[in-house]
Structures are given as C-alpha cells and as structure tokens.
Structure 1
C-alpha cells in the first residue's frame, strides 16, 4: 500500500464521514427491528436479556464505526464509557475499549507521518523504534523508542487529516444537538469544544503542557513524562516513557483494598491540587487511559493534550459556589448560580424551576465527600444517587452555565468514574484544607 493510499483509512471529508454516521444509524435501526420481531415471535423469552442483547449489539456496531472515524467521534466513544447512568451498562462495557483497543495505523503510514513531522524517517532519528504501536487512541497512536543518549521515550504520531475531521464532525454534531436542546449558549459550547480539540492536535502545545505539569506536579506520589522538544513537531510528540499499568490491567490483578485506597488518594489529591492552584490550569481528560498504576506506588499521569486554562474569575466563582454549598448558604448559592449563568434571564419559569431543582440535588451530592474526614467511594448507594442525578441532568433540554463548565464536568464525571472502579476509602482533609484556604484567599 502506498503512502497516498494508506491515508484513505482515515475519512476526513464531511461527506465521507457522514456516510459512516448514516451506516451506523442503519445498523442500529436494523438491530432494533430484529429486537421487536424477536419480542413478538418469542413472547416467553427473557425480556431483560433481549434488551441487554440489543444494547450490546448496538454498542458493538457503534464502536466499530467510531473506531474507523477516530478523532472527535472516538472521543464520543470514550465519553460513552463513563459511568454516568445515562447509557445502559452494556454501552459502557463495550465503549471502554476506546481507551485501549483502537486499530492502529499501518507501519508505512507511521514512517511517513514521522518523516513529514520531523524531517527524517524514524530509523534515522532514534537509536531504536518499535513499529507496532503500544497504544492507539482518538487523535494519535504511541510507539516506544530509544534516543541515542539511552533514554526510553514514547513517540506519539498523529493520524492524518485529524483537523479536518474535527470540523466536519462538529458540523454534524451541531446540527444534531440543535434539534435536541434549547438555550442561548449552544454555539459557545461548540466553539469551546472546537478550540480545545484544535489545541489537542497541536503536539507542540502538548509538549508545553507536559513541561508545566512536570514542573508543578511531579512530586513524591505522582510521576509525569518530560517532553523531548528536539524530536517534537505539531504532529509528532516525543516524551520520556512512563512505566505502569492501566486501570484495566491493574484491577485484573485484584489489588487489595489498601492498594486501591492508596491510588484513589493520589488521584483525588492530584485533581484538588490543580483546582486549588492559582495557575487555573486543569488536566481535563480524566479517563482510565491517562493514568498508570505503578509498582513503586506512584501514580503515572500521561496525555496532556486536553489541558484547560480557566479565567481567574471563573475559577474563583466556582470556589465560592463550593463554599456556599458546604455552608448551605442558599442566598450565596443563588447568587453564584446567576453569576455563573446556570440561571439566566432568558429561562422561563418552568425551566428555571427544573434547573434549580437539579442543581440543588447535584450540588448536595458533589459536596458530600467533603462533609467528613473520610469518604468511602465503594458505597453503592452514593453511586446510585449520582447515576440518577446524571440521568436527570441529561433530560434537561436547556443549555445553561458558562461554556467553561464543559471541561469542569468532564473532569468531575471522569474522576467519579475512576473512583467508582477503584472503590477506595480516602482521607478528604487535605482537599478540604486546600479548598478552604483558596476560598479564604479570595476574601
């Protein structure tokens, strides 16, 4: 296969990608038709098992097509794997593969992408280079290599035409969501997503993010890679290699509760160290593929493409809202809901009531871990409430809140999903102290 031919595995035009989206819809429709027929012809069958089989088949068909599309579409699959209670469990089980099992580019295309990005083929740049990818995700895939100075590195190679796919996918998504939701902020939300995805395709920007996190957060319990700038371009990123197990492999080893508690604590504190920092910078892609559980007890943090830098006033208002909720100060809560545009003047009375009711319930759940010195994330009752709350939120058909909430929510859902899998009991005193100190500094 020639270099020009090999790129056809990555449909970039709106038309080509639209055909795949349409094919997916037809497959799902056919599955549903078979399901209805089976219910009629097999009336004594197990209805729950029939519905589960439908969900599984739909999830497999959707996943198969999204992996062809990669890019924005595959990021949607990663989002589907989060434990939010909105999608059936069968979807989450299948879509979790999007963290680890994406079909990679062939080796000829990888060589071409490295030559185009760095000026030479990999065998001329690296002392050794593994042609088979060790990981493949939504925007690029990772290869292991060795530099001439002996350092082990990970080389991330971007799929071709990714920037074009972002524009075409978001155009389709904007049309779809425009039919499903109302409100004044939809265009701002899509612009926020588009801007962040474009930044994720700039590997030189990611290298700068790696430098920042290596400087700020590479402490005793956390290890991050270091960027190798001389072997990095917009489409090829080289960084030092971080050893460790992904969540799936870690849990398969049946770690004891003490080990689960240890890594859960590191995850919880890592996120809160960022929230409390005056840098207003957040690793905003909290999914299992981006964390490594190491034998030495440290938490490896990788993939710094999705890093959100918040305006200072937004970060400060979020802290004020948290503080108002902790102290059950309803007047302050109402003030912050308006200031953060969660409640706004264009809402009618009915919508305002639904949104207010949802955020009252949601807010009380989110601050529950901070109301005691320890919190058990293995509590099934807590997750049942959280799932029900997420499901209620998904049924709101009104956009509300600053567009900066998109990535706050991404971190929040991702963190609680990670905790749901680890099921640790953690000490929340450090995080409470950090947040209270940050609130006091605002006075």
Structure 2
C-alpha cells in the first residue's frame, strides 16, 4: 500500500466531473502523441503501444484514487484478466486491490468519532493509526478490544455514499455510447443497489454474521462482526490472518498447496450457488481471500453480496444441466427465460448470440465433464480470454440484470483459478449442483 495519504474527497457532481474530464484530456493527449510518433518515428514494434497503455492506465489510476468509491470499483474491474483490456492496464489497475492512498490519521480519528461517538483511544485497548489496507470505499486498521480480542476497524471515506448516483450517471453517459442494450437502465439500477448496500456497514455486519454461520468451518475462516463498535460508516470485525494471493504466489508454493487452496475456493463458491439461501459473496477478487498456514481459506469483505431470485438461480442451474447434457432443445427456451434471447430480436442477431452463448457455455461447463480438471493448462485460460474478448465485440448486450453480479463472480473465480493453476476434484461441486437441479 502507498505511504502517501490524500484527504481530498471531491463530493459534488461538478468537482468529480472535472476530474473525469481532466483524465479524458490526458488520455487523449497521450494517444495523440502516440499517433504523431507513428508518423515521425515509423513503424512501432509494440514498445510505444505498450508505453501508451501504461501511461493511460497510470493516469486513470491516479485520478481514480482521488475519486475513490464507484471510480475505484471500476478500476478493480479493469484489473480482472478477461482478455478485453491490454495487460498493461491490468498490471496498473491491480493496485486498486491493495494500493490506495489512505486517509491521514486526523481524518480517521474524526470519522470514527462521527460514526461511533468517541475517538479510537476511548473505544479500543489499542488502535494502529497506520492503515493495514485501503481500498475503494474504506480502509482498515488493526485494533484490540479491552478483552484482548484482535480486530480490524473499517473506516469509510467521506462522501462515498453521496457520490454514487452522480458517478453512475456519468458512467452511464459513456457506456450508452459503447453498449447497445435495451436493459441498460436495469443494469445500472442493479449496480446502484449493490453499491448502496456496500456503503452501509450495518448491512455488511449482517452479511458477515450470515456467512460466518453458514460457511465458517475446518475449510473456511470468516470474521465475526463486533456490533458494539459498528455503525453505518465504521465496521469492526474480528481479525483474520493470512496472505493475499500475490504474497502467496511470491513464495512459489508447491503444486499440492495450489491444488489445496484451489479446491477450497471452488467448493466455497459452489456451496453458495447450491444453497437454499441463494446468497453469494459477489466480489471474487484477490484482495478478498486469504491463504493461511493452517490450510483454511480466509474470506473477508462482505460488502458486495448478492441474493439471486429463486427463478433466476433455478433457470441458471437448468441451463447448466442442459449444457452438460448437450440438450439443445432444452437450452433454447432457457435462453429466452433468462432474457439472453428475446422476442423482437432480428434473426441475424439471434443467430449470432445463440452461436456465441453455445460456444461460451460449452467452455464454462468443461471443468465439470471430468472428475479432475487442471486450471493450470494454458489452453483453457486462452480460450476463456478469447471468449471474453469476443463478448466485448458483440453489438448486443442482453440478459437479465442479475447477470451483472453473476458474471462478476464467474470472471473473478476463473481469474483466481487461472492464477493459482490448481488441479481440482470437481465431483463434489457437480454433485451439489446436480442435487439442486434434481430438487427443483
């Protein structure tokens, strides 16, 4: 995490709009210079284009760290390896997972006092003024309760909740020029709903308690909320120790260790999908998982949690079963039920989407076709990147708005598995899903 701190939190639509506009001008200037260099310096061997990508990504990240909130959530999405963005963007934007400038100490003290009614020294036996981590919506500090319990205190940046609507309005004005979709307003409403929940730390405390009750086990460790020291903008929870993915991989763990944690991740996600609650940890990026020396998987940050409607979850599982069975007759009506295909769509567009989703769906279910699957095999990851890239080139964006966060989970988990490269046993996950489908 950066040692720098920045207490400038532009809250008004005008101030934030100026930052967005300034960033656009800088990116445009970088691109204009690149085009000029192509004329004066001749053919590019790829070096200048990579430099352009890096400069633009750095400009975006620098300004997004000022905006925080919704803008940094976008940066986190940019860091996911989907094959759509150049790898220079992903390298720079990966900082959004771990390296955001924190608030200074005086502002942290004020935010805790405003939220809990007293300063940290009056509330905790010990409180570390230096942030343990800073992310898009808030930052966390280690502390200790009077009874000796180690905890972390998450402190929300000022004005984050108040800027969601204006940020999304600006984002929509850009997206609508790129994406053709009859459902764009519904997608934006879905994002707005989850962001409003994520900025309510009382809601996150409820999520933490739910996941602790449902999933804490010999395989998974979750925090527990400390409700006496939690408010809408300050959240206290028990401390979970472990390494983030980048530190874990830096130690060059043996394949058996990669397999072990890959299995933990895979099973954890499938338990949620098959659950009667249909409630999923919907922010599957590397900063939210910890790899522990005791072999358990640590799961943290429960702000972004999605509960899927019964009919949507059930239709998705029916589609999964139809894909496994290559049952084309069952697939067609399910694509309509999920609003991937819809009445009024012209024949060419319908054929194009059906072809894409048949190929994409067959790829997604491939791990379930065998008892063991090697996520370290480069061909699968390359094919996945190609499908994501192809999706970005489709003129039509279709599907239920519930796909917004299902896709986030899907991209996140496959990205994590691609980095870990584990060989996993898929029998338990397949049994969980098959059992749920049978019970429908």
Please report the TM-score for the alignment, with normalisation by the length of structure 2. Answer: 0.97
List, as ranges, runs of 4+ consecutive aligned residues in structure 1 with deviation greater than 3 Å: none
| Correspondence for 1:182 | 180
Counterpart Cα distance in 1 of 2:7 and 2:90: 29
Comparing 171-180 and 283-292, the one that deviates more: 171-180
Instruction: Judge conservation of contact 1:12–1:165 (CA < 8 Å) in 2.
Output: yes
Secondary structure of the 2:186 match is helix
| Number of residues of Structure 1 aligned to a counterpart in Structure 2 | 436
Matches within 5 A, 1:391-406: 391-406=389-404
Counterpart Cα distance in 1 of 2:219 and 2:7: 43
Q: Which runs of 5+ in 1 are unaligned?
A: 1-5
| Correspondence for 2:358 | 360
Residue-by-residue CA offset, 1:162-205 (whole Å, 9 max, x unaligned):
01211111010111122222232111110000000000000000
| Correspondence for 1:430 | 428
Residue-by-residue CA offset, 1:57-104 (whole Å, 9 max, x unaligned):
111111111111110100110001101000001111111110000000
Shift of 1:398: 2.0
Shift of 1:42: 2.1
Instruction: Judge conservation of contact 2:152–2:237 (CA < 8 Å) in 1.
Output: yes
Counterpart Cα distance in 2 of 1:252 and 1:183: 42
Counterpart Cα distance in 2 of 1:7 and 1:131: 15
Shift of 1:362: 0.7
Shift of 1:8: 6.1
| Correspondence for 2:16 | 17
| Correspondence for 1:258 | 256
Instruction: Judge conservation of contact 2:229–2:236 (CA < 8 Å) in 1.
Output: yes
RMSD: 1.2
Please report the TM-score for the alignment, with normalisation by the length of structure 1. Answer: 0.97
Secondary structure of the 2:139 match is strand
Matches within 5 A, 1:152-231: 152-231=150-229
Equivalent of residue 278 in structure 1, options 268, 276, 284: 276
Instruction: Judge conservation of contact 2:6–2:66 (CA < 8 Å) in 1.
Output: no
Counterpart Cα distance in 1 of 2:170 and 2:271: 37
Shift of 1:295: 0.7
Counterpart Cα distance in 2 of 1:268 and 1:209: 20
Counterpart Cα distance in 2 of 1:167 and 1:415: 29
Residue-by-residue CA offset, 1:100-149 (whole Å, 9 max, x unaligned):
00000111111111001000011100000011100000000000000001
Comparing 178-187 and 428-437, the one that deviates more: 178-187
| Correspondence for 1:3 | none
Comparing 269-278 and 21-30, the one that deviates more: 21-30
